[in-house]
Amino acid sequence: MSDKTILLQEVMEKAQKWLAPEFDESTRKQVQHLIDNEPDELIESFYRTLEFGTGGLRGIMGVGTNRMNIYTVGMATQGLCNYLIKNFPNEKQIKVVIARDCRNNGELFAQTAAGIFSANGFKVYLFDDLRPTPELSFAIRHFNCQSGIVLTASHNPKEYNGYKAYWSDGAQMIEPHDTNVIAEVEKITSIAQVKFDGPKENIEIIGHEIDEIYVNELKKLSLSPEAIAANKDLKIVYTPIHGTGVKLTPMALKAFGFENVTTVKEQDVVDGNFPTVVSPNPENAEALKMALAKADEIGADLVMATDPDSDRVGIAVRNHSNQLVLLNGNQTATLLIYYLITKWKENGKLLGKEYIVKTIVTTELLVEIAQNYGVAYHDVLTGFKYIADIIEKKHGKENYIGGGEESYGFLAGEFVRDKDAIMACALIAETAAWAKHNGKTLYELLIDIYSQYHLYYEGLVNITKKGKAGAEEISAMMHQYRTAPPKEINGSQVIMIKDYEFSVEKDLLTGKEKVIELPKSNVLQFFLADGTKISIRPSGTEPKIKFYFGVKEKLKNKQTYETEMKDLVEKVNIVAKSMNLN
């Protein structure tokens, strides 16, 4: 008997259980169709249980244990309920908030989760329509809730949906809560364990009133109202790429004082099928194609695009030739952090207790800027929940200015505890107005920063290794780098190694070691004598190993910036080639 035949028999047994009366008629019909007609799809749908990981659920929608549907959402929600009940035994009534983005089945999944929370006796604040993920974070804190969820698959393709769980501080869960919730979810092995359809009186619909409170908080972050007033006609093109930013981003820009915002009408249409893009990911140039065309049509200064749940933003600015060019996440973070720290200094807000936060794979230029102003900085593992953890630990003792990650996520202020593209759009526009007030474009401001500090470029190489053999190969690569690290890379000496799995930083010049005070993570970093930084990290969600490269040089001449940047891009290619990666 072949392996596939054995697997099909196992899958058939699991699928047969989904023909029971506790499953709705539509689900039973779809499962029966797979059993009768589509054995390969049946296997894909049932060969495993969709894993509730540290970031929640994410998967293709459909019937089966390995798909996003009301039953997998239901089991996850019941597991979360059980954990919250254990953790908050003295709460008169546990409170949660539910939000969703534009994806197909989002409303169904949100309603399903609301009914389950209610059935467990919880007070539920349910948004009346789609809302950005950062507003979910804000609402948890606003209502003093113990938890919250948002139904989103971020920038994944249209076939996907997802479920992210948040703790009482408004941030995604970290240890011990993330693994403990996973354990509770794994205990839910039958639909019979899920309490569906609780009383409607436990569910309160929320909406516009929270939008106004949230936007009013955003306005307090503004540092240059005079620059905006003088440049309120700054031409901005914005697209939500069919997602949740459609209402709040224009609302926030208007509240800040910007009066010349043009949206891409075709992409203002809320649609989980994302009909105008291949992928709703603002990291991809293709996703901004229509916005760039609109900007050229009207002569706009700035283009901004947010992903479906509005936690990440991609931007384009005009270069010396008046052409629109896309900035990467590190460049946008550089502009924002430079602007925020500079204005905090000008406004007399730097009192010696301020700090910024970045992830370990984000540009080191942020460190240079912070140190120049006497602002503390903190490195954290990849994932915005770790930035939020620093904010929570220092809340009331030190002042958070801002932070970000190379993957297009940014945050200022403390009232939201996740990356916030609505906030970022408002502050990017303000930075552009401030630059214009000082006779510069954003592009020129970026070059000024490079000139003042160093010219930095960061590149990423993804190596995909599929299947069990691929996973073993990735593990072997990490083992090799750990046990026999290179002494030099591209002719430059390796002078420091950071191993986050074993929490050790070793200075190879002095032989001294020190403990890395971060959670353990399977990440290695090599620092070279020429300033190059190489970070190696296997993906936690895909069969990939990621190599992040950071290189730097002194910018010799502002006029030759583009040529010098091309040289750094080529240097990354050469470094990657020296490591046999391309």
Length of the chain: 582
For 323-387, the three-class secondary structure string (H helix, E strand, C coil) is CEEEECHHHHHHHHHHHHHHHHHHCCCCCCCEEEEEECCCCCHHHHHHHHCCCEEEEECCCHHHH
Tokens of 490: 């591209």
CA nearest neighbour of 342 among 228, 216, 449: 449
Q: Which tens digits make up the pLDDT trace of 372-412? A: 999 999 999 999 999 999 999 999 999 999 999 999 999 99
Residue pair 337/387 in contact (Cβ under 8 Å)? The answer is: no
pLDDT given for residue 467 in this prediction: 74
Task: Indicate the DSSP class of residue 156.
Answer: S
- Does residue 55 carry a pLDDT above 90? no
Respond yes or no: is residue 2 known to be catalytic: no
pLDDT given for residue 540 in this prediction: 66
Is 3.30.310 the CATH classification of the domain at 455-578?
yes
Task: Indicate the DSSP class of residue 53.
Answer: B
Residue pair 171/86 in contact (Cβ under 8 Å)? The answer is: no
- Does residue 542 carry a pLDDT above 70? no
- Can you give the pTM of this predicted structure? 0.96
Alpha-carbon gap, residue 174 to 186, rounded angstroms: 18
Q: Where are the beta strands (DSSP E) in 72-159?
A: 95-100, 123-127, 147-151
- The pLDDT-based confidence of 541 (bands split at 50, 70, 90) is low
Name the segment(s) of the chain with CATH classification 3.30.310: 455-578
Residue pair 133/101 in contact (Cβ under 8 Å)? The answer is: yes
- The pLDDT-based confidence of 1 (bands split at 50, 70, 90) is low
- The pLDDT-based confidence of 15 (bands split at 50, 70, 90) is very high
Q: In what order do the strands lie in the sheet with 160-166?
A: 57-60, 160-166, 147-151, 95-100, 123-127, 203-206
CA nearest neighbour of 339 among 464, 449, 414, 231: 449
Alpha-carbon gap, residue 502 to 567, rounded angstroms: 35
Alpha-carbon gap, residue 288 to 281, rounded angstroms: 9
CATH code for the part of the protein at 50-212: 3.40.120.10
pLDDT given for residue 460 in this prediction: 94
Q: Which tens digits make up the pLDDT trace of 282-300? A: 999 999 999 999 999 999 9
- Does residue 513 carry a pLDDT above 60? yes
Tokens of 519: 């959670």
**In the chain, what is the straight-line distance between the N-terminal and C-terminal CA atoms, in Å?**
41
Average pLDDT over residues 32-38: 95
Q: Which residues pair with 262 in a beta bridge?
A: 237
Per-residue exposure over 83-115, b if at least 16 CB sit within 10 Å of its own CB, e if not: bbbebeeeeeebbbbbbbbbbbbbebbbbbbbb
Cis omega (within 30 of 0) for bond into 176: yes
- The pLDDT-based confidence of 155 (bands split at 50, 70, 90) is confident
Is 3.40.50.300 the CATH classification of the domain at 229-452?
no
Q: Which tens digits make up the pLDDT trace of 178-222? A: 999 999 999 999 999 999 999 999 999 999 999 999 999 999 999
Q: What is the mean pLDDT of the chain?
A: 96
- Does residue 8 carry a pLDDT above 60? yes
Alpha-carbon gap, residue 113 to 125, rounded angstroms: 11
pLDDT given for residue 2 in this prediction: 66
Residue pair 552/456 in contact (Cβ under 8 Å)? The answer is: yes
How many other CB atoms are there within 10 angstroms of residue 482's CB atom? 15
More confident residue, 223 or 54: 223
Average pLDDT over residues 145-150: 98
Average pLDDT over residues 412-421: 98
Alpha-carbon gap, residue 223 to 434, rounded angstroms: 9
Q: Which tens digits make up the pLDDT trace of 298-329? A: 999 999 999 999 999 999 999 999 999 999 99
Average pLDDT over residues 10-31: 94
Name the segment(s) of the chain with CATH classification 3.40.120.10: 50-212, 229-452
Tokens of 185: 């979810």
Alpha-carbon gap, residue 429 to 251, rounded angstroms: 13
Alpha-carbon gap, residue 219 to 501, rounded angstroms: 41
Residue with tokens 């900085």: 377
Q: Which tens digits make up the pLDDT trace of 348-361? A: 999 999 999 999 99
Residue 559 burial (C-beta neighbours within 10 Å; 0-12, 13-18, 19+): exposed
Alpha-carbon gap, residue 393 to 400, rounded angstroms: 11
Residue pair 102/130 in contact (Cβ under 8 Å)? The answer is: yes
Q: Which tens digits make up the pLDDT trace of 420-455? A: 999 999 999 999 999 999 999 999 999 999 999 999
| Catalytic hit among 45, 137, 147, 154 | 154
